[in-house]
Amino acid sequence: MKFMGSINAQLVHFGRCIRAITEWLDLNPTMNAEDKLMLENYIQILQLAYAGWGRRQREMTPRK
């Protein structure tokens, strides 16, 4: 995947998406099992990617 734009722009866009999903979930919509699974999968992908990034950052940080 080609990286597009600055990290700040990407995070702002991500934040808008998260707010939209949060507002939508606050309305207590009904979701079928497929929609729930898709949302849970996306959340897990984000958690795994963030954990991997954090691990790489710790590995790159020199220890004192």
Give 3's pLDDT tier (boundaries 50, 70, 90): low
Tell me if 31 sits within 8 A of 39, measured CB to CB: yes
Tell me the C-alpha distance between 35 and 3, whole Å: 28
Average pLDDT, rounded, for the chain = 88
Q: Quick check: pTM over 0.95? A: no
> What's the pLDDT tens digit per position in 9-34?
888 999 999 999 999 999 978 889 99
Tell me the C-alpha distance between 33 and 23, whole Å: 20
* Furthest-apart CA atoms within the chain: distance in Å: 52
